[in-house]
Amino acid sequence: MVAVDNVTQDAEDATALPAPHPAWLPDAVFAAVGRRRVALADLSDPGRVPPPGPDGPAEVLEALHGEITAATIAHGGAVVTADESPDLVLLLTDPEVPEAEPDGAVEGFRLRRTDGKVTVTAVTATSLLHGFFHVVRLEESAFAAPDADETHAPAAALRMLDHWDNVDVHPVMGQVERGYAGGSIFYDDGGVRTDLSRATAYARLLASVGVDRACINNVNVHAREARLLTDDLPEVARVAAALRPYGVRTHLAVSFAAPMTLGGLPTADPFDDDVRTWWRDAAAAVWTLIPDFGGFVVKADSEGQPGPFAYGRDHADGANLLAEAVAPHGGLVHWRAFVYDHRQDWRDRSTDRARAAYDHFAPLDGRFAENVVLQVKHGPMDFQVREPVSPVLAAMPRTRVALELQVTQEYTGQQRHAVYLGPAWAEVLGFRFRGEDTPALAEEVAASGGFAAVSNVGGDRFWTGHPLAQANLYAYGRLTWDPTLDALDVLDEWITQTFPDASTLLRSTLHTILDDSWATYELYTAPLGVGFMVRPGHHYGPDVDGYEYTPWGTYHFADRDGVGVDRTRATGTGYTGQYPAPWRDVYESVETCPDELLLFFHHVPYTHVLHSGSTVIQHVYDTHFAGVERVEAMVRRWEDVAGEVPDDVAARVRERLAEQLRSAVEWRDQLTTYFFRKSGILDARGRTIY
C-alpha cells in the first residue's frame, strides 16, 4: 500500500480531504493472502524486469511489493523469495498471456494453482498487479479451489474513467461538474493538490478492478483548466506520478481552441500548418514530461465547446489533427460523439436530438485515424435512467468506437438515491444490434474502442457520497474487464469485500436494497423511457415540464390526450431508421416496441394498453406508488441491519435513504398530479392524487 496512510487529517487545513473509507479494500480482504508466504519474483533482479516504458514498471512493482508487505505484516504471513516455498508467487515474466494491446503492450495474467500453491504470471507490472488483486478478491478460495491453469485478460484493451473535475471552482458547476461526492481528489484552491495521496488511493481502487486509464479534468474545458496542457504540465506530471504506482495512466481533456487561447494563433483550423505544428509541439512537451501519458479527450462543437465546425471542417478533420500530434508517442484521442444542437426550437418537432450523433458521425465512418477512439454515450440522449442503445454504436464498423457510461449518478439520483447501475449497464452491454445470434454490444466495443465512463468519485470520506454508490465504481471496473459477468454476482463480490464480516441478514438486505434499485428508481421517475422531467440546471428531482419549452431538445409532448415522442419513420422524426434490423422495425411499431421504451419512440393516448395489460395512465399511477413503497421498504430494511455496519456508514446511508424517500414521494406526487391534471383520468385504485 503506497501513500494511502499519508492523507492529511489536519482539521485546521480547510482544503485537506478526510481520511478515506477503505471501500472494497478493507484490511480483512487481504487476510487470505496476508497470512501466507508471498513472493514477488524478480523485483530485485533488474534483469527480469522489462525495460522502462509506458507501464512505469518500477513504481508499479514497488507498489505491489508494498501491498504484499502490508498484507503479510497485518495478517502474519511473510514476504519471501521464490525459492523459499511461497504459497503465492507473483512472477513478472515473458508473455504467456493471450491479448495484446494495439500499441503492442500485453494485458492480462495467468493463474496456476497446484496443491494450494498459486502462481500468477504477467508480462507487465500493471497486469501482475491486476493478477494480485484478482487473488485478493478470491480470498481463501484462491488457494482452496481445485488445481487450475487459467488465463485472465480484459475483454477490452481500453477501460477509462473520466473525471469532470475543474481546477477552479466553477461558479455554476462547482469543483466537480455533476459530482456528488465533495470536491476533487486532484484539485483544490485553484491548483493541483499538494497532497495527492487520495489520488494514489483512488488509483489503487481502480487497479483492484482493472481500470488503467483516467482522464483527470472536465471535458468542458474552461480557461483555467485549458492551461493544464501547457503552463501547468509539471502539475499534471505530479498527478500522473500519483496514479502511476497503481498502473493508471493519465489523460487530459483539452480544448479544441487551445492553439488560439493558449498558443496565440489566429485560428484553430485543423488544416492550418501552424495549428498542426502547435499541437505536435504541445503533445511532444506532454510526453517528454510524462512518458506514459495516455492521450487527449475532446468534447468539440458540443454545448458551447469549440470545434472544427467553426472552420468548415468536420469531426474527422478535427480528431485527426490531434491524432497526428499524439501518434508519435503512442497516444490516443478520445473524441466524444455527444454533438447536438443545444439551441433547438421546442416548436420544431422535426428536429430530434436523438438523431444528432448518428447524423453527425455515421457518415464519417472510415475517416478517423487509427488512434482516434470515438466515445459514444450509451443512449442517444444523455444518460437517462432508460434509453435505447445509441445506434451510433452499430453504425461505424471502420471506426474505433468506445461505449461511454456514467458512473456518477447525474440523472439517477445523484448519489442521494441508492441506485445500483450494474443491471442497467448489463442490459446495454448485452444488447444485440442485429438480433439474437449476433454479437453482444460488449463484444463489439471491446474489440473496438473499449469503455469509458464518468467517475463518481470525489473528496468525500466515502469516495462517492452515498456509501452504497461505491458498488457502481466497482461494477464499472469488473463489468468492463469481463462484460459476461452477471451484474448481481458483481454486486455480491462488492458486498463480500466491502462488508467482510457481514451476517447473512446484512448480505441479503444489501441485495434486497440494491439488486432492483435501478428498476425502483425508474418506477418513480420519468415513465416508459420518456426521460428527463428533471429540474433544469441541477437535474435533481422532478419537474415534468422543466425541459418542455427549452432549447435542449428534450421533450415529452404531453397534452390532455397523450404523451411521448414520435420517432418512427412512418409519422415521426425517423430516428427508428438509424437502427439495423430487427430493431428498426421492433421500435417502429407500437405493437412490438418494448413497454419500457414506448414513450421514447411513440406518442400514444393515455388509454393506450401496454403489453403489461395496463393503460399508460394507470401504469404511471401504479409504478409511482409502487416505487415509493419500495423505497419505504428500503428504509425499513436498512434499519434492520444498520447496527451491523460501522456507525458512520449506518448514519450516512440512513440520511441518504431518508432523502431518497422524500424525493421519491415528490416524484410520485408531482408525476401523478401532473398526469391526472392533464388526462383527467382517475386512478383506478383511488389513491391520493393532488
Active-site residues: which are they? 303, 382, 410
Residue 587 in contact with residue 579, Cβ under 8 Å?
Answer: yes
Task: Tell me how far, at minimum, the Cβ of 562 lies from a copy of itself, in Å.
Answer: 10
Q: Name the CA dihedral angle for 623, 628, 633, 638, rounded to a multiple of 10 degrees.
A: 130
- Within positions 82 to 121, which residues make up the interface with a copy of itself, using CB under 8 A? none
The count of chain residues that interact with a copy of itself, using the rule CB under 8 A, is 25
> Nearer to a copy of itself by C-beta: 137 or 603?
603
Half-sphere exposure of 663 (CA within 13 A, CB side): 24
Q: Three-state secondary structure along 500-530?
A: CCCCHHHHHHHHHHHCCHHHHHHHHCCHHHC
What's the CA gap between 59 and 296, in Å, rounded? 23
R_g of the chain, CA atoms, integer Å: 25
Task: Tell me how far, at minimum, the Cβ of 546 lies from a copy of itself, in Å.
Answer: 8
Q: Packing angle between helix 197-208 and helix 233-243, nearest 10 degrees? A: 50
The answer to the question of residue 561 lying near a copy of itself (CB under 8 A) is yes
The answer to the question of residue 222 lying near a copy of itself (CB under 8 A) is no
For residue 369, give Cα distances in angstroms to 347, 357, 375.
39, 19, 14
> Nearer to a copy of itself by C-beta: 365 or 548?
548
The answer to the question of residue 224 lying near a copy of itself (CB under 8 A) is no
Q: Three-state secondary structure along 353-407?
A: HHHHHHHHHHHHCCCCCCCEEEEEECCCCCCCCCCCCCHHHHCCCCCEEEEEEEC
Please identify which residue in the block is written with the cell numbers 442503445: 389
Among the listed residues 569, 526, 580, 562, the one whose alpha carbon sits nearest the alpha carbon of residue 387: 526
Residue 685 in contact with residue 555, Cβ under 8 Å?
Answer: no
Task: Tell me how far, at minimum, the Cβ of 670 lies from a copy of itself, in Å.
Answer: 5
Q: Packing angle between helix 422-429 and helix 517-524, nearest 10 degrees? A: 90
DSSP letter assigned to residue 266: S
> Nearer to a copy of itself by C-beta: 5 or 545?
545
**Phi, psi values for residue 166, rounded to 5°:** -100, 150
Residue 402 in contact with residue 158, Cβ under 8 Å?
Answer: yes
User: Which residue in the set 560, 591, 643, 685 belongs to the binding site for a copy of itself (CB under 8 A)?
Assistant: 560
Task: Tell me how far, at minimum, the Cβ of 417 lies from a copy of itself, in Å.
Answer: 19
The answer to the question of residue 309 lying near a copy of itself (CB under 8 A) is no
Given the rule CB under 8 A, which of 75-83, 125-133, 154-162, 673-681 is the region that contacts a copy of itself? 673-681
The answer to the question of residue 690 lying near a copy of itself (CB under 8 A) is yes
Task: Tell me how far, at minimum, the Cβ of 545 lies from a copy of itself, in Å.
Answer: 4
What's the CA gap between 293 and 233, in Å, rounded? 11
Given the rule CB under 8 A, which of 18-26, 333-341, 430-438, 666-674 is the region that contacts a copy of itself? 666-674
> Nearer to a copy of itself by C-beta: 172 or 570?
172
Task: Tell me how far, at minimum, the Cβ of 668 lies from a copy of itself, in Å.
Answer: 11
x/- track of binding to a copy of itself for residues 328-357 (CB under 8 A): ------------------xx----------
What's the CA gap between 608 and 650, in Å, rounded? 44
The answer to the question of residue 611 lying near a copy of itself (CB under 8 A) is no
> Nearer to a copy of itself by C-beta: 48 or 538?
538
User: Which residue in the set 164, 242, 679, 683 belongs to the binding site for a copy of itself (CB under 8 A)?
Assistant: 679
> Nearer to a copy of itself by C-beta: 47 or 171?
171
Given the rule CB under 8 A, which of 295-303, 336-344, 390-398, 672-680 is the region that contacts a copy of itself? 672-680
> Nearer to a copy of itself by C-beta: 559 or 655?
559
Task: Tell me how far, at minimum, the Cβ of 690 lies from a copy of itself, in Å.
Answer: 5
Among the listed residues 181, 142, 140, the one whose alpha carbon sits nearest the alpha carbon of residue 472: 181
> Nearer to a copy of itself by C-beta: 365 or 543?
543
Residue 412 in contact with residue 521, Cβ under 8 Å?
Answer: yes
For residue 69, give Cα distances in angstroms to 77, 91, 93, 243.
9, 16, 21, 20
> Nearer to a copy of itself by C-beta: 142 or 176?
176
The answer to the question of residue 680 lying near a copy of itself (CB under 8 A) is yes
Please identify which residue in the block is written with the cell numbers 507490472: 125
User: Which residue in the set 46, 104, 171, 264 belongs to the binding site for a copy of itself (CB under 8 A)?
Assistant: 171
x/- track of binding to a copy of itself for residues 520-559 (CB under 8 A): -----------------x----xxxxx--x--------xx
Give the pairing of strands 109-114 and 117-122.
antiparallel
Half-sphere exposure of 70 (CA within 13 A, CB side): 17
What's the CA gap between 478 and 162, in Å, rounded? 16
> Nearer to a copy of itself by C-beta: 261 or 550?
550
- Within positions 619 to 648, which residues make up the interface with a copy of itself, using CB under 8 A? none
Half-sphere exposure of 278 (CA within 13 A, CB side): 22
Indicate if the alpha-carbon torsion angle 444, 446, 450, 454 is positive or negative. Answer: positive
Task: Tell me how far, at minimum, the Cβ of 608 lies from a copy of itself, in Å.
Answer: 17
Task: Tell me how far, at minimum, the Cβ of 344 lies from a copy of itself, in Å.
Answer: 13
User: Which residue in the set 677, 682, 684, 687 belongs to the binding site for a copy of itself (CB under 8 A)?
Assistant: 677
Task: Tell me how far, at minimum, the Cβ of 549 lies from a copy of itself, in Å.
Answer: 5
Q: Which residues bind a copy of itself (CB under 8 A)?
A: 171, 346-347, 537, 542-546, 549, 558-561, 666, 669-670, 673-674, 676-680, 690
